[in-house]
Amino acid sequence: MAIYGIGTDIIQVSRVAAVMERTQGRFAARVLGPEELAVYEARKARSEVRGLAYLCTRFSAKEAFSKAIGLGMRMPMTWRAMQTLNERSGRPVIVTSGVLKAWLDERGITAHVTITDERDYAVSFVVAETK
């Protein structure tokens, strides 16, 4: 394996909270993939704070991933085509779909992600590799 790219991102939770308020919650539906959105809704129903933290870590992971693969937020990279889901152990994993998945498969790119959050910030780090 060879490193294709590395990306990191930090998000201030209060800024995402302000965007959520301004968009009346539509921001979450715009940036989260279907499985992420279901987890977000469940966490938010239990605790607004934990729901917001989840949204922030996933948004941060998307930003870090887009940097690691060198595309930024342009096709085939879209918010909803890349999801950060959790294995049963809790380990976060990147799951892609559609044109983005095909683009990555053509290049033999896989990626690893780590995420963390505190009260004020969410941080993600992604390493993309080629076979």
Q: Would you state the pLDDT for residue 72?
A: 84
Domain extent, residue 33, equals 2-130
Q: 107-118: per-residue pLDDT in tens?
A: 999 999 999 999
pLDDT, residue 63, reads 97
Domains contained in the chain, number: 1
Q: What is the mean pLDDT of the chain?
A: 96
pLDDT at residue 106 in the model: 97
Residue 76's pLDDT is 94
- Read off the CATH number of the domain in which 32 is found: 3.90.470.20
Smallest CA-to-CA distance from 79 within 1, 119, 26, 123 is with 26
Residue 9 among known ligand-binding residues: yes
pLDDT over 90 for what percent of the chain? 95
**Comparing 104 with 74, which gets the higher pLDDT?**
104
Report the C-alpha gap between 45 and 99 in whole angstroms. Answer: 32
> Is residue 74 over pLDDT 90?
no
For 17-60, the pLDDT digits (tens) are 999 999 999 999 999 999 999 999 999 999 999 999 999 999 99
In the chain, what percentage of residues exceed pLDDT 70?
100
Q: Is 41 annotated as a binding residue?
A: no
> What is residue 131's predicted lDDT score, i.e. its pLDDT?
82
